């Protein structure tokens, strides 16, 4: 599985690289800053999920390439802005200095802006075979990263820092902050591969549950992982007064929930039969990961 | 002219308002922050230009509505981020506290992100009559606000602060930082109204020269305007070591250049005959403005 995913990551990285060359212009520093974070060792989870959801329905990498790269850029921009001093104030990410530590705060803000912007550049510049389908995918992409998606989740997350919140409140944060983008990865894969509406609903149900399982795993790793594996200090979320599943439910209950939600996720794929085998394997791999 | 423009601004503001209601959700603060800057008394120059370029070719407000509102949101996001402490560190804009002074830095960063994102939400959600045309317009919108457009210009502007630069360097900054968005306003108006390629080239030539004239007028007003009219302290750009046309060329030569570039702009519209009358009137109004 690890080798299989490594191959896919290579394909994704090659496309990302082609979409974002360093240009010989007076503003070349912005390209360096964007690339610095884009190639800082991300797991490419979202492009992999989009690709595999499309593949399950007969699509290929080419079916999703611009959208998969766009989503990874949006994910990366959100990390750069989340790390800023005014937000989470993180100096390290994946074992490397964060963007504003490396390039300064002004460039880090602009590199985030630029990655968000570039995402929409590459999906709108592409010569789509089916323009209506592509427009629908852009709409899903944009709404999942906006105020009713990722940004909305970050706003509530920031507001709840250092406060005691309830489980439904925590779930609301993650449904938006990390869940919306994972759902749009999968749903866009389906849309671009020509899925029927009820197939898209099933994919969304899969992704929604996967997103929760994935987030709980993240919270568990924050306290049980090793600094070397995670590339950041252990307990850094807890130390900042962040609300996590482990804080609210404890480690044991959290592990139970990971299993519960990943089972629900996989069950949602039953209608796709054998075509879903690889997606199920990837799901198992992701929710048992160590970093 | 002032009354005519006021009427148009009302139409634009009504549409902006409809696109951005405050929603009763846990993240409602983000909507307040977005609206605070979006309705802080902007001149709506870019939507007016897009609308008028479309009208010149037989289009209407409905032809450009989502794109005109999207462009104003992108313009607003850029102002919010430019004002941040890490960038220009401005406390006042149009006589009001800047977004980060009012809402704090974290929300200001997110409100900027959210306005950029919302721009692409509204243009992709719209039921376009001609989807290919709309996709082309999205592509122009995205590239003009990105690293080879507005963001690229801001990067070079920040890097050149406090340094002596040449006139071509100053022109490069403004061609990207303010010029790219003004050009895309006009070009998108043309595209959506179904302009032929050579008509779009003429519109672009108009917009390019208008953008330069407009920027020089801005630089002149920074030293000759009144604080009351501008809503910010006089000489604030000069005081920050910003490079301006007035600093490089003096006030008199700068006035000459405003006329030169606005003449060039208007000349580019000659092929449109009487249909361009209103656009020419708007041009004259904009480059003789006092704030």
- What are the extents of the domains in chain A? 2-287
HSE, side-chain direction, 13 A CA sphere, residue B243: 23
d(CA A35, CA A77): 11
Q: Which helix (H) or strand (E) holds B218?
A: helix B197-224
**B96 pairs with which residues across the strands?**
B93
* Mean pLDDT estimate for chain B: 93
Q: Give the tokens for residue B265.
A: 């702009």
Q: Give the tokens for residue B142.
A: 């995205």
Q: Has residue B50 got a pLDDT over 70?
A: yes
Say what the pLDDT of residue A157 is: 94
Collect all residues of chain B within an 8 Å Cβ-Cβ radius of residue A29. Answer: 155, 159
Collect all residues of chain B within an 8 Å Cβ-Cβ radius of residue A121. Answer: 139, 142-143, 146
Q: Give the tokens for residue B194.
A: 């179904």
HSE, side-chain direction, 13 A CA sphere, residue B245: 23
Across the interface, of B112, B138, B155, the residue whose CB is closest to A30 is B155
ipTM associated with this complex: 0.95
The C-alpha angle with vertex A213 and arms to A207 and A215, in degrees rounded to 5, equals 100
- How many A-B residue pairs are in contact by the CB < 8 A criterion? 158
Closest approach of B2 to chain A, Cα-based (Å): 34
Exposed/middle/buried for residue A96 (C-beta within 10 Å: 0-12, 13-18, 19+): middle
Say what the pLDDT of residue A156 is: 96
Q: Has residue A248 got a pLDDT over 80?
A: yes
d(CA A67, CA B124): 14
Across the interface, of A31, A77, A87, the residue whose CB is closest to B147 is A31
Best residue in B26, B98, B115, B127 for a mutation probing chain A (most A CBs within 10 Å):
B26
Exposed/middle/buried for residue A133 (C-beta within 10 Å: 0-12, 13-18, 19+): middle
Best residue in A29, A89, A134, A142 for a mutation probing chain B (most B CBs within 10 Å):
A142
The whole-number average pLDDT for the span A187-201 is 97
Distances (CA, A) of B58 to B9, B51, B186, B275, B276: 20, 10, 14, 9, 11
Residue A162 DSSP one-character state: T
For domain B2-287, the question of CATH label 1.10.600.10 is answered with yes
Give the dihedral sign, CA A265/A266/A268/A272: positive
Say what the pLDDT of residue A232 is: 66
Closest approach of A100 to chain B, Cα-based (Å): 10
Contact (CB, 8 A) for A202 and A271: yes
Exposed/middle/buried for residue B148 (C-beta within 10 Å: 0-12, 13-18, 19+): middle
Contact A25 B148 (CB under 8 A): yes
Say what the pLDDT of residue B231 is: 66
- Among A138-152, B35-49, B152-166, B236-250, name the one with the lowest average pLDDT: B236-250
The C-alpha angle with vertex A84 and arms to A81 and A86, in degrees rounded to 5, equals 110
Q: Has residue B128 got a pLDDT over 90?
A: no
Q: Give the tokens for residue B36.
A: 């605070």
Say what the pLDDT of residue A235 is: 67
Contact A25 B152 (CB under 8 A): yes
Minimum CA–CA partner of A115 in chain B: B146
Contact (CB, 8 A) for A281 and A55: no
d(CA A211, CA B93): 41
The C-alpha angle with vertex A240 and arms to A235 and A245, in degrees rounded to 5, equals 60
Say what the pLDDT of residue B28 is: 95
Residue A238: pLDDT band (50, 70, 90) is low
Contact (CB, 8 A) for A144 and A183: yes
Q: Has residue B45 got a pLDDT over 70?
A: yes
Q: Give the number of other CB atoms < 10 A from CB of residue B76.
A: 26
Contact (CB, 8 A) for B174 and B215: yes
Contact (CB, 8 A) for A70 and A150: no
Distances (CA, A) of B235 to A266, B99, B159, B238, B241: 63, 21, 20, 5, 10
Residue B132: pLDDT band (50, 70, 90) is very high
Residue A48's φ and ψ, nearest 5 degrees, are: -60, -45
Contact B146 A104 (CB under 8 A): no
The whole-number average pLDDT for the span A220-249 is 77
Say what the pLDDT of residue A287 is: 87
Closest approach of A74 to chain B, Cα-based (Å): 10
User: B229-265, pLDDT tens digit by residue?
Assistant: 666 666 666 667 778 999 999 999 999 999 999 999 9
- How is A56-96 classified by DSSP, letter by letter? HTT--HHHHHHHHHHHHHHHHHHHHHHHSTTTT--SEETTE
Contact (CB, 8 A) for A283 and A262: yes
User: B20-29, pLDDT tens digit by residue?
Assistant: 998 999 999 9
Say what the pLDDT of residue A82 is: 96
**A96 pairs with which residues across the strands?**
A93
Best residue in B113, B184, B188 for a mutation probing chain A (most A CBs within 10 Å):
B113
Distances (CA, A) of A148 to B80, B262, B290: 20, 43, 40
User: B157-168, pLDDT tens digit by residue?
Assistant: 999 988 889 999
Say what the pLDDT of residue B229 is: 64
- Alpha-helix runs per DSSP H in chain A: 2-19, 28-38, 45-56, 61-83, 99-103, 105-125, 131-145, 150-160, 167-174, 180-192, 197-224, 227-230, 236-239, 245-267, 277-287
Exposed/middle/buried for residue B228 (C-beta within 10 Å: 0-12, 13-18, 19+): exposed
Q: Give the tokens for residue A65.
A: 């390439």
User: B196-241, pLDDT tens digit by residue?
Assistant: 999 999 999 999 999 999 999 999 998 887 666 666 666 666 667 7
Residue B57: pLDDT band (50, 70, 90) is very high
Residue A155: pLDDT band (50, 70, 90) is very high
Closest approach of B213 to chain A, Cα-based (Å): 23
Q: Has residue A233 got a pLDDT over 80?
A: no
User: A91-123, pLDDT tens digit by residue?
Assistant: 999 889 999 999 999 999 999 999 999 999 999
For tokens 């390039």, the residue is A103
d(CA B91, CA A183): 39
**Which of A264, A149, A286, A267 minimizes the C-alpha distance to A217?**
A286
Distances (CA, A) of A117 to A105, B50, B114: 18, 20, 12
Residue A195: pLDDT band (50, 70, 90) is very high
Predicted TM-score (pTM) of the model is 0.95
Across the interface, of A110, A128, A139, the residue whose CB is closest to B154 is A110
A41 SS3 class: coil
d(CA B111, CA B93): 16
d(CA B262, CA A59): 52
**Which of A207, A199, A218 minimizes the C-alpha distance to A182?**
A207
């Amino acid at each position: 599985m690890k080798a299989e995913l490594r191959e896919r990551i290579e394909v994704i990285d090659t496309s990302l690289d082609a979409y974002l060359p360093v240009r010989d212009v007076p503003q070349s520093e912005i390209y360096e800053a964007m690339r610095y974070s884009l190639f800082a060792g991300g797991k490419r989870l979202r492009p992999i999920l989009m690709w595999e959801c499309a593949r399950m329905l007969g699509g290929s990498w080419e079916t999703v390439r611009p959208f998969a790269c766009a989503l990874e850029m949006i994910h990366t921009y959100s990390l750069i802005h989340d790390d800023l001093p005014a937000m989470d104030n993180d100096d390290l990410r994946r074992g490397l200095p964060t963007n504003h530590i490396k390039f300064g705060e002004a460039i880090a803000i602009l590199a985030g802006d630029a990655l968000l912007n570039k995402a929409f550049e590459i999906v709108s510049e592409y010569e789509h075979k089916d323009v209506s389908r592509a427009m629908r995918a852009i709409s899903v992409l944009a709404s999942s990263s906006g105020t009713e998606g990722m940004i909305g989740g970050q706003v509530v997350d920031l507001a709840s820092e250092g406060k005691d919140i309830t489980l439904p409140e925590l779930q609301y944060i993650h449904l938006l902050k990390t869940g919306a983008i994972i759902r749009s990865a999968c749903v866009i894969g389906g849309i671009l591969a020509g899925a029927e509406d009820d197939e898209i609903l099933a994919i969304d149900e899969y992704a929604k549950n996967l997103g929760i399982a994935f987030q709980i795993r993240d919270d568990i790793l924050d306290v049980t992982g090793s600094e070397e594996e995670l590339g950041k200090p252990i307990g850094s979320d807890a130390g900042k007064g962040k609300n996590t599943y482990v804080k609210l439910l404890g480690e044991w209950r959290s592990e139970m929930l990971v299993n519960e939600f990943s089972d629900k996720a996989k069950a949602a794929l039953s209608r796709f039969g054998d075509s879903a085998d690889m997606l199920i394997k990837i799901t198992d791999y992701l929710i048992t990961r160590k970093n």
